[in-house]
């Protein structure tokens, strides 16, 4: 391959000819002090809050604090080579990031610079990082489902497009796993996915990228990384940058799913910046506006009205708790902002119940309207039953004799718990979920040994696909449990049970 130098020269010539030779007018200031990702600048008297400034080394900063005599600037990038006394110039614009199809499949930093070695993002579309969320008139209620492919979530805390569902739990309880499964399940569903890693270990992000790539999810996913080694201002703007990229799709009638992993680290970064800027500390030393920091971010997830194209952003913010303490400052804040939460518990996780979702306190406040009819019929009441089962189970451990009704309730509960277990990176289709939950909630599993339930489910779903393809396609199409469909499901289960012997080793 040879490059034609004539062609290159002519393009360069055009660019040079089009260059307009105007005097550059700019507002400037002088660095007074710099360190820890922030700088105090003297001058810049006309700068506005949130305006971009540029340092001599090319780093971008944002005017964060406008004080009487100086301007507090957060530095997005390298602050180690900025010197005291050097000139800072105001750029007169707000921070914006590249958006549109060009960002899909990329790994970017919060400013839109490439981290995947594939060169700069080639696009003319940019979007401001901080915008005020759409208002009441521009929205409509959440009605379309956003399937995560996880039985427990789709059945008990369904998520709709445009919803904000918090994933909360201690460290190592599978929070990220739920979000990743949700992303993997969007394959072929025309939903663009954004994974914002805030303050994560770079090794963790790298292995996650491996998973996304292996499962073909990078075709519709953008990963925005502000790792643990990024300066606090980068970690602070990362979720806003990710949302700006997602908004490009929402405002053009598309759908997006965005995962903020995790917002507690973003709050910590914001706290660091605020304290360095000498804003007064409040509860847990967080600044007074840390609530607004999260609420204005999550308000940008919305389901737009039909007049605006009906696009949506669904967000899955993640919060890490310490020792299950959900009443700490940041968890309560985010719980109150979101439309529900999925609460993951370490003891369930280590008991092998994965996803380790606590059915009692996990809720979805708006997703019910978005659930498909079939799922609503099989899973209605499942969450409460399961919560009741947990209470009963604790009571039964006292060793008292139980009456037959209670015992059967317990048996059903054990099987449902078993049925809701699901391996990682194996999202299920709605049809499969409906079939297996139908079998579980209607008591078809009561005579299957508890330990054989998962094997039974797997074999049953395979059987339904192979032998009762008409049922599967009918369910796929209707997404409702009409009498006809119910008859077919029961016939299918009957058929399967007649010829099925659980493998001995499983029992």
Partner 1 sequence: MTEFVKHETVLDTGAEKLGKTYARALIAAAKNQGDGVADTIVNQLAMIVDDYLGHNPQLRDAFASPRVSHAEKVRVIDRIFGDELHPTLLKFLKVMASRDRLGYVYAVRNAADEIFDDMMGRVVASVQTAVPLDDVTRSQVIERLGSVMNAEIKLRESVDPELIGGMVIRIGDRVFDSSVQNRLNKLAVKVRRGFSSKLLERFDQFISG
Q: Which residues bind partner 1 (CB under 8 A)?
A: 1-4, 7-8, 11-12, 14-16, 18-19, 21, 23-33, 40, 42-46, 67-70, 84-85, 89, 120, 122, 124
Nearer to partner 1, 17 or 466 (CB): 17
Of the pair 127, 303, the CB lying nearest partner 1 is at 127
CB of 16 to partner 1, least distance (A): 7
What is the Cα–Cα distance from 213 to 395, expressed in whole angstroms? 46
127 catalytic per annotation = no
> Cβ of residue 472: shortest distance to partner 1, in angstroms?
44
The span from the CA of 173 to the CA of 358, in Å, is: 11
The vertex-154 CA angle with 148 and 156, nearest 5°, equals: 145
Task: Measure Cα distances from 505 to 392, 449, 501, 502 in Å.
Answer: 29, 12, 11, 8
Cβ 287 to partner 1 shortest distance, Å? 21
* For partner 1, the closer CB: 88 or 304: 88
Q: In the β-sheet with 107-108, what is the strand arrangement from edge to edge? A: 107-108, 221-226, 191-198, 255-261, 312-320, 166-169, 340-344, 363-364
Report the residue number, 40 or 303, with the smaller CB distance to partner 1: 40
Task: Residue 429: count other Cβ atoms within 10 Å of its Cβ.
Answer: 15
Q: Measured between alpha carbons, how far is 31 from 20 in angstroms, rounded to an integer?
A: 30
Contact 301, 313 (CB under 8 A): yes
CB atoms within 10 A of CB 29: 24
CB of 308 to partner 1, least distance (A): 30
Q: Do residues 144 and 175 touch, judged by C-beta distance below 8 A?
A: no
Taking alpha carbons only, the member of 334, 347, 317, 203 closest to residue 257 is 317
Nearer to partner 1, 46 or 352 (CB): 46
How large is the greatest C-alpha to C-alpha distance in the chain, in angstroms?
A: 92
Q: Which is nearer to partner 1, 72 or 355 (CB)?
A: 72
Residues 146, 160: Cα–Cα separation, whole Å = 5
Alpha helix stretches (DSSP H) within 299-340: 329-337
Considering the candidates 139, 279, 296, 365, report the single residue annotated as catalytic: 365
Q: Which residues are catalytic?
A: 365
């Amino acid at each position: 391959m040879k490059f034609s130098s004539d062609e290159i020269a002519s393009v360069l010539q055009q660019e040079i000819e089009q260059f307009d030779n105007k005097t550059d007018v700019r507002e400037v200031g002088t660095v007074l002090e710099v360190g820890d990702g922030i700088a105090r600048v003297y001058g810049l008297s006309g700068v506005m809050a949130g305006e971009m400034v540029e340092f001599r080394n090319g780093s971008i900063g944002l005017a964060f604090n406008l004080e009487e005599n100086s301007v507090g600037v957060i530095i997005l990038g390298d602050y180690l080579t900025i010197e005291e006394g050097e000139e800072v110039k105001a750029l007169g614009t707000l921070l914006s990031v590249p958006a549109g199809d060009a960002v899909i499949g990329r790994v970017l930093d919060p400013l839109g610079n490439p981290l995947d070695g594939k060169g700069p993002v080639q696009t003319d579309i940019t979007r401001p990082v901080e915008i005020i969320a759409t208002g009441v008139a521009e929205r409509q209620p959440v009605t379309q489902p956003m399937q995560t492919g996880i039985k427990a979530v789709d059945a008990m805390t369904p998520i709709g497009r445009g919803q904000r569902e918090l994933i909360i739990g201690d460290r190592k309880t599978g929070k990220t796993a739920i979000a990743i499964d949700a992303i993997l399940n969007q394959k072929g569903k025309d939903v663009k996915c954004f994974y914002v890693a805030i303050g994560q270990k770079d090794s963790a992000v790298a292995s996650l990228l491996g998973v996304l790539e292996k499962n073909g999810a990078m075709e519709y996913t953008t990963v925005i990384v502000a790792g643990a080694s990024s300066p606090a201002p980068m970690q602070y703007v990362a979720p806003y940058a990710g949302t700006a990229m997602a908004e490009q799709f929402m405002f053009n009638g598309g759908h997006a799913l965005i995962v903020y992993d995790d917002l507690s680290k973003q709050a910590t970064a914001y706290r660091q910046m605020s304290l360095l800027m000498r804003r007064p500390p409040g509860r847990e030393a967080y600044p007074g506006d840390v609530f607004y920091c999260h609420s204005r971010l999550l308000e940008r997830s919305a389901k737009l009205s039909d007049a605006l194209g009906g696009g949506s952003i669904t967000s899955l913010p993640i919060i890490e708790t310490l020792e299950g303490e959900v009443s700490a400052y940041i968890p309560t804040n985010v719980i109150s902002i979101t439309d529900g939460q999925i609460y993951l518990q370490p003891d369930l996780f280590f008991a092998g119940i994965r996803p380790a979702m606590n059915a009692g306190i996990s809720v979805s406040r708006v997703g019910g309207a978005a659930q498909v009819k079939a799922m609503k019929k099989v899973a209605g009441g499942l969450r409460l039953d399961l919560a009741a089962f947990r209470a009963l189970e604790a009571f039964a451990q006292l060793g008292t004799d139980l009456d037959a009704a209670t015992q059967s309730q317990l048996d059903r509960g054990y099987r449902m718990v078993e049925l809701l277990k699901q391996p990682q990176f194996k999202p299920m289709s709605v049809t499969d979920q409906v079939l297996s939950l139908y079998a579980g909630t209607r008591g078809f599993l009561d005579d299957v040994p508890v330990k054989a339930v998962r094997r039974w489910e797997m074999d049953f779903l395979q059987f339904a696909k192979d032998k009762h393809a008409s049922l599967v396609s009918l369910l796929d199409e209707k997404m409702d449990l009409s009498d006809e469909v119910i008859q077919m499901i029961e016939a299918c289960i009957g058929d399967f049970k007649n010829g099925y012997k659980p493998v001995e080793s499983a029992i």
